[in-house]
Chains A and B, each alone.
Chain A
Amino acid sequence: MTGSPMTGLPLNGAPVKGQRAVRLRRQTWFRRVVVTVVVIAFLIPLYGMLNFTTHDPSGQVDLTTWRTLVDVNKISTDYPDLATGFVASVGLAIVTVSVMLVLLVPTMTWVRLRLPSMSRPVEFICLLPLTVPAIVLVVGLSPVYSWLTDWLVYFFGESVGESTIWLGLAYVILVLPYSYRSIDAGLRAIDVRTLSEAARSLGAGWPTVMWRVVLPNLRTAVLSASFLSVALVLGEFTIANLFSRTNLQVAMYLLGKSDAQISIAVGLVSLVFAFLVLFAMSFVGTTRGRTTRSPFRLRRNRQEST
């Protein structure tokens, strides 16, 4: 290598390029190793679950568990808790996402437009559930639910008052931090003030501004918040169990005591579902800007063309 007599540093760029290439190769290898370790760490338990549910105790391949799982009639009859838990969790996911969006999107938009001084307190309140353990949340919510259940039973009867669906209110608190972060990022990405003022000057009232201007432009953020909430609700166990309600996770736990294979198979399905949800979320995030067509717009166009 030709070097400077004074400094010993290379005079041409080739050795520097060579060093950079070596560094890049090392980084690439490091990345591959990390990804491999992470994938193994995730896949081994999943493989274990799959293996456990596809073999009988003697080690022979046995797909009875999965056949049972896809047979809706059989699973409803043989494992009623599972069906109940699944329906409850889906219902809870819908209620949680709906209440969260109705509560959070207008509030955050309003705070951004009219009460910017309240943005810090609102952020604090929304992030607070991160610091409160589920068990403490249950202790705090117990008297509230006790009162709510009495009131609902009194007015609507036991079937409504003691329904699992009311857990959705607690779940809204649970998903607040994640939803807040997603929607906040969405609101930061657009000039809500100018867009809403433009819409109002064109004759839009506040509901129209929210429905036709703010929401379509928060599509990605709202979808992210919704997906995260769904994933969280489908995986929630502690609150439901401590309130003696049956959701998917509680049902799986109960099932695990009587039929471990079905329990693990359901666990595997719900994990894969959660992965798919997160994958869909990242896909939605990356396609933003390329596909800015809103569902509202498409629907309107369809109506016009008919």
Chain B
Amino acid sequence: MSAPTETARGVTVELTDLRRSYGGIPALDGLTLHLAPGELVALLGPSGCGKTTALRCLAGLEDPDSGTVSVGGRDVTGVPTNKRDMGMVFQAYSLFPHLTARENVEFGLLLRKRAASERRSRAAEMLDLVGLSSQMDKYAHQMSGGQQQRVALARALAIEPTVLLLDEPLSALDAKVRVQLRDEIRRIQTEVGTTTLFVTHDQEEALAVADRVGVMRSGVLQQIAAPEELYSRPVNDFVADFVGVTNRVPGHVSGGSASVLGGRVELLPGSAGDGTATVLVRPEHLTLDRTAANATVVSASFLGSHAKVVVTPDAGAEGTAAAPLVVQVRSADVGSFSPGDRVCVRPTGAAALAVAAG
């Protein structure tokens, strides 16, 4: 993933100690977030974690109880939505049904009193950017969901916003269109260079498009980092569990490493201290062989580019009988594992996080 770059269009965005509660329940609990100019940051988290509230506070659609929002160094906390100059794509289809695709894209420019000729050329340019030049005279009900969201993106970009806000724009689309459109969003964002906040509950989406991904839980930002770092160096078990698949393996911590399944793994900073712990090991950080069997195969599934084998480890020296473990193997090897096979499961030694057992 490319590092955030300084661009002519991008501005800095700062959310500082934002708090917002609904009926006494905090949706945002002191959120502080910094977006560099031209950067695409994804906020990821389960439903109700406050990611959409954060985006709406930035858009001006929600007023925070406390905290500040600044864009390009200017405090916009009290500025109404229509004066913030931000483009937004919504989760629900939001094209104006009485206008064609072209007129939808022209809408923001019309409000800015741009000349008709300028509006037309800009709309054509934006629709071309999202690959919908041929659909410009169609109404929303004549377009597919994916096309509608592309037009919504073109509409948001047409006004040359200081910040682009994407509120789960792909969640209503089917899987194939979703992957296609998310790649396009990334391409267009890189091309245009607008600072972008992307909210999603889909980890794959977030990891695929963002320069940095922030994981939220109960209104608190748990960790924000580049996708690779977030995946390989989670700061707590929530992040490790939420981003990717994680095996929770009983182990014993001593001297900065842990003994797990008969092998040793280095521990990430923030891991639990010496003693019994649960070590969070990724499926690709486990290997299977036929040497000293310590587990039984439960199932083996072919997943295309790789395969997944589920094994149940025997009750070992490190602790009680563990839950089934997911092990990633090469797809070519999946045929060599059948349910009931005795195998040896071991860690590769890649660094992992250890949390207090329990």
Contact = CB atoms under 8 A, between A and B. Distances in A.
A199 B6 CA distance: 29
A199 B107 contact: yes
Nearest to B120: A304
A130 to B, nearest CB: 32
Contacts of B87: 201-202
A303 to B, nearest CB: 9
Given A191-B92, A197-B90, A292 B82 contact: no
A202 B80 CA distance: 12
Interface in A174-217: 190-191, 194-195, 197-205, 208, 212-213, 216-217
Contacts of A194: 90, 92-94
Contacts of A201: 59, 61, 81-82, 84, 86-88, 156, 165
A213 B97 CA distance: 9
A20 interface: no
Nearest to B139: A292
Interface residues of A, number: 25
B9 interface: no
Interface string B92-136: 111011110001000110011000100000000000000000000
Interface residues of B, number: 32
Interface string B134-177: 00000101000000000010011001000001000000000000
B-side binding surface: helix, strand, loop or mixed?
mixed
Contact of A297 (B99, B152, B165): B99
Which of B103, B107, B116, B159 counts the most chain A CB atoms within 10 A?
B107
A198 B107 CA distance: 10
A217 B85 contact: no
Contacts of A197: 61, 81, 88, 90, 94
Nearest to A206: B82
A234 B76 CA distance: 53
A198 B94 contact: yes
Contacts of A217: 96-98
Contacts of A297: 98-99, 103
Most chain A CB within a 10 A radius of its CB, from B82, B83, B90, B103 = B82
A195 B90 CA distance: 10
A57 interface: no
Contact of B97 (A190, A199, A200, A304): A190
A98 interface: no
A74 interface: no
B84 to A, nearest CB: 8
The listed residue with most B CB atoms (<10 A of its CB), out of A201, A213, A216, A217, is: A201
B165 to A, nearest CB: 8
B90 A203 contact: no
A294 interface: yes
A213 B61 CA distance: 17
A203 B82 contact: yes
Nearest to B159: A202
B82 A198 contact: no
Nearest to A290: B141
A182 B86 CA distance: 35
Contacts of A32: none
Given A208-B111, A289-B141, A297-B103, A199 B96 contact: yes
A67 interface: no
Nearest to A216: B98
Contacts of B108: 202-203
B94 A205 contact: no
B103 to A, nearest CB: 7
A176 to B, nearest CB: 26
Contacts of A212: 107
Contacts of A204: 82, 107, 111
Nearest to A289: B141
A297 B99 CA distance: 8
A293 interface: yes
Interface in A44-93: none
Contact of A293 (B83, B98, B112): B98
A195 B116 contact: no
A201 B156 CA distance: 8
A195 B155 CA distance: 13
B198 to A, nearest CB: 15
B59 A195 contact: no
Contact of B94 (A191, A203, A216, A292): A191
B92 A213 contact: no
A70 to B, nearest CB: 40
A135 B25 CA distance: 51
A201 B111 CA distance: 11
B99 A195 contact: no
B343 to A, nearest CB: 52
A297 B152 CA distance: 19
Contacts of B159: 202-203
Given A197-B81, A289-B141, A202 B94 contact: no
Contacts of B81: 197, 200-201
22 contacts: A191-B93, A194-B90, A194-B92, A194-B94, A195-B96, A197-B90, A197-B94, A198-B88, A198-B90, A198-B155, A201-B61, A201-B81, A201-B87, A201-B88, A202-B82, A202-B108, A202-B111, A202-B159, A203-B82, A203-B83, A292-B139, A304-B116
Given A195-B96, A205-B82, 18 more contacts: A191-B92, A191-B93, A194-B92, A197-B94, A198-B152, A200-B81, A201-B59, A201-B156, A201-B165, A202-B82, A202-B107, A203-B111, A213-B96, A216-B96, A217-B96, A219-B98, A289-B141, A292-B98
Closest 9 CB pairs of A and B: A202-B108, A198-B94, A201-B88, A216-B98, A200-B81, A203-B111, A294-B98, A194-B92, A194-B94
